[in-house]
Chain A
Amino acid sequence: MNFAKRAIAGIARKQGKTLIFLVIIFVLGNIIAGAVSIRLAVTNAQRVLSYKMSPVASLGFDTEKYSALLEKNPELEAEAVSLETLGEIGASPYVKYFDYSARLVVSSSTLTGGRADPFFESSNFFEFIGVNNPELVDLKEELIQLVSGRVFTEQETKDLEYVALVPQEIAEMNNLTIGSVITFECGFSYDTGKRRPYDFEIVGIYKAKTMTEEFKDGIYAPNKVLKEMNDLANREVLKDPNISEEDYQSIVETFRIYYTTLFILNDPMDLEAFREETAALVPAYYTVTVASNNLEKLEAPLQSIREVTTLVLYLAVVAAVLTMSLLITLFLRDRRQEVGIYLSLGERKFKVAGQILVEVAVVALIAITLSLFTGNALSGVISEQMLADQMLADQAHESQYSPGDYAYRYQGATSAEQLAEAYTISLNMTTVVLFYAIGFATVCVSVLLPIFYITRLNPKKILMGGEL
């Protein structure tokens, strides 16, 4: 009957006390297990989000600031950023991929599956996404997946080659394959008959993976082609005798081709350095917008949950330590005589303490193991509701970018839905190890007071009372 066997006998034969102790540890264990699971799920979700959130930066013109200054100084001029400057920024060592993109909306009288456009009261419009980098950054960053065919060649992006990558859905709807030729019409006349037709050869068919909804049916084509189509459309407008000079200028301004930029950095930690470096190269009123701003917003509900669960975890551990310490000490007071007997028999105090520790640890092991499963399951239900409430409360997921911006696609790739998807409560090894570590650390701290109590016990006083 060494101290460990005595401990087991104590557990088995003092069933009432064992049960009370088991229930208390189980209840507290559930709270701790829940808090641990939620914290790990939050950490995991944040990691998943930051993986999904590419270190994206975009160059934008600060219209608000410029307009404000323009009111004070009507002669204020703003210089546009040149393609050369963009190239220089793109060559920065911080940058992994760089591209700039024109966007152009065209119609097609031969293809089906286009979008409605309220301006033209038609339902067959397609959006072109301009590409300068033949590697196709969206493909590299896995926003899309190539189903068949290929990406553009260097030559196709430099020369005026009418080639396109179309979405799988449109290809299937129109029985298109690699090598098929599709026709679009482009022009700014309200008379569709006056629009110029353009034939594109399909070189690739893609499927959107994580791209935001607005771009899922976009057609990739070289920027150069889109610019040419836009310029020709402008010239068509110029030729139209029905258009006045004033209207023409307005149309040219409205339909001028814009490029939006995209810089994918090697490391999200470089975003600030990149922002500083870029600010020195670009003309006044241009700013670098980074996607991490949005990540912070997206992470806000997670952060709230993390703070709540951290508090709950600390409180539960403190409550567990206090409750268990007092309970064990109380139970020990009932067993003073037993401890006195061991001490009178010459048992070493550390072994008596060891017996108490084993008794507590075995019951705790059972209770902790049970609460690991129940706490994990309960925390799943509770925290998902908390997350949903938080997301509802923090509806601040507006993008840092405008929908026309290239980087907007990347912004949309990490949506609130993905946040919910990334947030999963699971019983993985980290949860189990961390929970057992916290559980047993709590048990060890809880037995300190009872052990101190044991060291103060005097067997003479216990067994011989106050007798002389």
Chain B
Amino acid sequence: MSLVTVSEVNYFYADGDSRRYILKDISCEFERGKLYAILGESGSGKTTFLSLLAALDKPKSGKVLYETQDISSIGFEKFRRNKIGIVFQAYNLIPYMTAAENIKVAMSITDNKLPKDINEVAYNLLDYIGLDKAKADRTVNKLSGGEQQRVAIARALATNVDVVLADEPTGNLDEDMENEIIAILQKLAHEHNKCVIVVTHSTQIANQADTVFKLRKGKLEPYER
């Protein structure tokens, strides 16, 4: 059964009477336990597509469903708070806070039920994605790019959500670090039954993904490897 369903979604910019379509009649489904990669060239609409899945923007027409519920009826803010975790290319961590505090910020925002000792959860999560306590207590701008991206992934997981959305998560990382991040994302999908959707240029991620789509001229097509 699909966890996230995209149904006939259109997104365009109005230019006078004409419309410039970024996404046109897109329909697809995303399931738990799978790593999805969405490939596309620059300007193909990958980020727009992710922003619709992340409820950071509204489709001009069509629906995005979580389980069977339209996310607009859940409320975009609430959906972001309780149903998804987002990983950005630029990490988007709060620079003056430590890695652990960045995790705790997300945990304090969600309405999801979490263990009482959020400190322990934060350290365990960071440890799980490969950051020890010493690094967990450093302000994030003192961590490397790969470490910051790990923190971002840990933050996406911290709220106990089923969907992790990642926008070019390895875009700023070297190859070794990229492999490590891909491994973590795979682990999340396969071992923790999360639905992980990654938009990327990286063929390396595409090669490791369970399902790959390609965005071309506003259309989402299955991608054959």
Which A residues form the contact surface with B (CB < 8 A)?
1-2, 5-6, 9-10, 13-14, 337-338, 340-349, 459-460, 463-464, 467-468
Q: Which of B51, B77, B101, B105 contacts A348 (CB 8 A)?
A: B77
In chain A, what residue has the closest Cβ to B98?
A9
Do residues B92 and A337 form an inter-chain contact, with CB atoms below 8 A?
yes
In the assembled complex, the CB of B161 is this many whole angstroms from the nearest CB of chain A, namely 10
User: B79 interface residue, CB < 8 Å from A?
Assistant: yes
Partner of A1, one of B51, B104, B159: B104
Interface contact A344-B92, CB-CB below 8 Å? yes
Cross-chain contact B88 with A342 (CB below 8 angstroms): no
7 A-B pairs whose Cβ atoms sit less than 8 Å apart in the complex? A9-B101, A344-B80, A346-B77, A347-B81, A347-B109, A349-B77, A463-B88
- Among B45, B88, B96, B110, contact of A468 (Cβ-Cβ < 8 Å): B45
Q: Is the CB of A344 within 8 A of B57?
A: no
Contact A464 B96 (CB under 8 A): no
The answer for the CA separation of A169 and B131 in the assembled complex, in Å, is 91
- Min CB–CB distance B107 → chain A (angstroms): 8
Contact A346/B56 with A9-B101, A13-B96 known, Cβ cut-off 8 Å: no
Determine whether the beta carbon of B96 is less than 8 Å from that of A14.
yes
Residues of A within 8 A of B105 (CB): 1, 6, 342, 345
For A467, the chain B residues whose CB sits under 8 A away are 47-48
CA distance A343 to B46 in the complex (A): 21
Q: Is the CB of A346 within 8 A of B101?
A: no
Is residue B32 within 8 Å, beta carbon to beta carbon, of the partner chain? no
Contact B109 A9 (CB under 8 A): no
Interface residues in B55-86 (C-beta closer than 8 Å to A): 56-57, 77-82, 86
Residues of B within 8 A of A343 (CB): 77
With contacts A9-B101, A13-B96, A467-B47 taken as known, whether A344 is within 8 angstroms of B56 at the C-beta atoms is yes
Q: Which residues of B contact A344 (CB under 8 A)?
A: 54, 56, 80, 86, 92
A286 to B79, CA, bound (A): 88
Q: Chain B residues near A13 (CB, 8 Å)?
A: 96-97, 139
Query: B22 to A468, Cβ gap below 8 A?
Result: yes
Give B188 Cβ to nearest chain A Cβ, in Å: 18
Within 8 A of A (CB), among B32-59: 43-48, 51, 54, 56-57
A344 and B55 CA atoms in complex are apart in Å by 9
* B24 CB, nearest partner CB in chain A, Å: 13
Q: Are the C-beta atoms of B96 and A9 separated by less than 8 Å?
A: yes
Residue of B nearest to A340 (CB): B92
| B93 within 8 Å of A (CB atoms) | yes
Q: CB-CB < 8 A to A340: which residues of B? A: 92
The residue that A2 contacts in the complex, of B78, B108, B159, with Cβ under 8 A, is B108
Tell which of B78, B79, B109 has the most Cβ of chain A within 10 Å.
B109
Chain B residues with Cβ under 8 A from A349's Cβ? 77
Given the known interface contacts A346-B81, A459-B56, the answer about A468 and B47 at a Cβ–Cβ threshold of 8 Å is yes
Min C-beta distance of B64 to chain A, whole Å: 14
B43 and A346: CB pair below 8 A?
A: no
Residues of A within 8 A of B177 (CB): none
A390 to chain B, nearest CB (A): 52
Contact between A338 and B94 (Cβ–Cβ < 8 Å)?
Answer: yes
How far apart are B36's CB and chain A's nearest CB, in angstroms? Answer: 19
Query: CA of A345 to CA of B88 in the docked complex: distance in angstroms?
Result: 12
Is A463 touching B48 in the complex (CB atoms < 8 A)? no
Q: Known contacts A346-B110, A464-B47, A468-B22; decide if A341 and B92 are in contact (CB<8 Å).
A: yes
When the two chains form the complex, which single residue of B44, B47, B54, B109 contacts A342, counting CB atoms closer than 8 Å?
B109
B139 — which chain A residues lie within 8 A by C-beta? 13
Cβ-defined contact, B96 with A10, below 8 A? yes
A-chain residues with CB within 8 Å of residue B54 when the two chains form the complex: 344
Across-interface contacts of B147 in A (CB, < 8 A): none
Determine if B45 and A341 form an interchain contact, defined as CB atoms under 8 angstroms apart. Answer: no
Nearest opposing residue in chain B for A347, CB measure? B109
Q: Which residues on B sit within 8 Å (CB–CB) of A346?
A: 77-82, 109-110
Q: What residue of chain B has the Cβ atom nearest to residue A12's Cβ?
A: B96
Interface contacts beyond A460-B56, A464-B51: sample of 12 additional A-B pairs, CB < 8 Å, sorted by A: A1-B97, A1-B101, A13-B96, A344-B54, A344-B56, A345-B105, A345-B106, A346-B80, A346-B82, A459-B56, A460-B51, A467-B47
- In the bound assembly, the distance between CA atoms of A354 and B138 in angstroms comes to 26
Shortest Cβ distance from B85 into A: residue = A345
Closest to A346 in B: B81
CB distance from B47 to the nearest CB of A (A): 4
Question: A345 near B47 (CB under 8 angstroms)?
Answer: no
B22 to chain A: which residues have CB within 8 Å?
468
Complex-state Cα separation, A47 to B57, whole angstroms: 63
Q: Smallest Cβ distance from A456 to chain B, in angstroms?
A: 15
Cα distance, A1 to B197, chains bound together (Å):
28
Is B31 in the interface zone, CB < 8 Å from A?
no
| A residues in contact with B56, CB < 8 Å | 344, 459-460, 463-464
